[in-house]
A and B are shown apart, each in its own frame.
Chain A
């Protein structure tokens, strides 16, 4: 009798993405509702346990150096304050292009992220550097405005030179069950973005349950998001590792069923290299190394960058340097 033996191969560990792209066309709310209902639920205890387990991974030596550089290149250096001025944005853009002026091997960050009115200024400072200009729009952070106002917000940011738009979903509509409205807005903003990349902020701290996070992730991806993003950074609960895990699983499943690869951005409260490494381990072990690139994973942060620089120097020199070694912003 022949023995049916099949060794699992390295190919089995990869996320398999079908070539034929087939994002299902969503024609009405009932269809969208049915699609979301077909998604598996999330067991909160299990998801949190998995994230906690992956947080114990120990990243050392050359892997650590690689990961620190990778994390630097994934930072969306952010300032979203009422007190923002052109001067502050200039300083941020300078830092974004050359995070550590003494060391040319430090990569630039992925983007600077500002309010729409400062996009033109950021654009002029960054010039033709590799650093993109990202702008929050759609009445960030609450999203409480008419669609007309939100689209104008987006159009102005794009016109001023934004490469990336970070929109917020209408959490009020989502939580009251008007998911068709949430979807339609994302579709409309996708169109208004034109060539600009769209990141859709779910504001997971307001969605509260992991089931909601998974559903909102799918609505955003079906609506045309290039990235799904955890948080605005303006509510009490921002990015958490279990939330990121659920979003990464959504991105993986979406790629496998539709052929479309969507990125993930975690934002809010990520301040240390240790935090950043934990997220990258989650990425590596959930969706795989393909997502370990600024094209598909970002950190929305400000103070994180200096900690990454400090750890990078510590890895090379074997000792910590003073925090004043690095510019404040």
Chain B
């Protein structure tokens, strides 16, 4: 085929001078204690572990490994605060604190964005434009509900549950803390929050914000640590409710552990979201949607559109445009404002992505990997697309939780629905078509908690989010999100 490749001019396609956000505004302490009863404990009193910057493997700070006794003290503090203070405050009072927290998050947004990017490896553009504004939005939204619980659809004067134990993942550290804390506090519960082992720092900055907001002591306690800390929290007899976001594997363990008691439980687990593309989809926006669906946050998104189902008639064209777009993604220093794809959060996660991607090749899929140059230090994985993927391939079934997309094809809407539903998960799906009736037909038949039409990975505090089957149960966000924290 005769083709003319248009040469890049001096500016090139991918060549902007570095535009780094200032890392110093993070103002991190060298080491952190636990946040119990409104105060930070002495870091020296705990075994410490390091939280590193996955983009360059440098240590950002050390944090405390909370022991079983520490968890017990945190739960006791939450119980005390619940009985003596929080259960007696009015909805209007609780709203006042939540509004305050939301406003301080906005005021300290830049600092929080930098902390999040340093600790997690996600691009500053995302922490600045998505994570932090959405975290503030969740507090604002649930502040509005605090004095209107009578009208939330659960009858008059719905009661809180008591002490909530909340375990959150490393992919959206501050945002997940907001998703958990805001509805719990609005409904009148007190909390013990356990951030993820690899990303505890923004939650500790949030603890400072809670102090700044003068939230009564003990209403929120934050205990850092590894899986053992989480297990201690789950097993604690005085916790009334466990809310967990994380892997399906750990979710199973938690469900088994609480099965014998009377703790309430909500789980938000993994996913293998299908992005379904019909031949009449708006092609340019659809390509962007596929990119956002899988490469947003390096694919560390439980609802990521990690399976692309394309109608066969347009498969070649979609793949051609998709591969071109993947090659344009700017991969590199997360603190650079022009970075599109940042670092993989940890060595362990990188190993898992590499292992599963290797299956893609050995099982016969065609691999397209961006030719971007990856930094030498840190944990990196170049954006990758697998074409010619079959339903039986592991990369079509297992959650990779990384920047890896599997492309499959279908012929009819029925086949698209069947393939999309042929998974153990059921968190999110996307449908791309200009024909509204078909979009609705498909959406009605998809077994997933969230369906996006002509968009993907859009989040809003007013909209309930959650899954079915192995993606968990319970809803976060919206009026529905209150139910998980009310005795109804």
Contact = CB atoms under 8 A, between A and B. Distances in A.
> Do A and B truly interact?
yes
Interface string B6-20: 111111111111110
Interface string B390-430: 00000000000000000000000000000000000000000
Find the residue from B129, B282, B324 having the highest chain A CB count within 10 A.
B282
Given A46-B289, A47-B285, A41 B434 contact: yes
A319 interface: no
Given A14-B5, A289-B8, A8 B327 contact: yes
A47 B287 CA distance: 11
Contact of A66 (B7, B11, B338, B454): B11
B17 A19 contact: no
Interface in A216-254: 246, 249
Contact of B16 (A63, A288, A292, A293): A63
B10 A66 contact: yes
A142 B11 CA distance: 38
B6 A15 contact: yes
A40 B281 contact: yes
A4 B3 contact: no
Contacts of B129: 56
Given A67-B11, A290-B9, 13 more contacts: A5-B367, A5-B369, A8-B323, A9-B327, A17-B4, A43-B434, A49-B288, A50-B284, A50-B285, A56-B125, A57-B337, A57-B338, A290-B8
B280 interface: yes
A105 interface: no
Interface residues of B, number: 50
B326 A8 contact: yes
A238 B376 CA distance: 47
Given A8-B323, A58-B338, A249-B284, A18 B17 contact: no
Contact of A293 (B2, B3, B9, B434): B9
B364 interface: yes
Contacts of B454: 43, 45-46
A127 B315 CA distance: 54
Interface string B312-330: 0000000000011011100
A202 to B, nearest CB: 18
B122 to A, nearest CB: 15
Contact of B7 (A18, A62, A290): A290
A6 interface: yes
B231 to A, nearest CB: 41
B212 interface: no
A273 B1 CA distance: 41
The contact size tier of chain A is 35 or more
Contact of A11 (B5, B285, B289, B362): B5
Nearest to B291: A50
A4 B324 contact: no
Interface in A16-65: 16-20, 40-43, 45-47, 49-50, 56-64
Contacts of B16: 57-60, 63
Nearest to A67: B11
A290 B454 CA distance: 31
Contacts of B365: 4
A43 to B, nearest CB: 4
A4 B326 CA distance: 18
A130 interface: no
Contacts of B11: 63, 66-67, 70, 284, 289, 292
Interface string A284-328: 110011101100000000000000000000000000000000000
A56 B123 CA distance: 13
B368 interface: yes
B17 A40 contact: no
26 contacts: A3-B362, A7-B371, A8-B326, A8-B369, A13-B14, A14-B5, A14-B8, A18-B1, A18-B2, A42-B282, A43-B434, A45-B454, A45-B455, A47-B284, A47-B285, A59-B16, A59-B17, A59-B19, A60-B18, A63-B15, A66-B10, A66-B11, A289-B9, A289-B10, A290-B8, A290-B9
Interface string B358-384: 000110111111110000000000000
A81 interface: no
B285 A8 contact: no
B283 interface: yes
A12 interface: yes
A42 B280 CA distance: 11
Contacts of A20: 2
Most buried by A among B286, B338, B365: B338
B116 to A, nearest CB: 17
Contact of A290 (B6, B337, B364): B6
Interface in B133-152: none
Nearest to B456: A46
A60 B17 contact: yes
Contacts of B455: 45-46, 49
- Nearest 7 pairs of A and B residues by beta carbon: A46-B285, A58-B19, A43-B282, A58-B337, A43-B285, A40-B283, A61-B17
A83 interface: no
A77 to B, nearest CB: 23
Contact of B280 (A9, A41, A289): A41
Interface string A206-221: 0000000000000000
Contacts of A249: 284
A229 B13 CA distance: 23
A60 B16 CA distance: 8
Given A42-B284, A45-B454, A288 B4 contact: no
A145 B209 CA distance: 66
Contacts of B5: 11, 14, 16
A17 B5 CA distance: 7
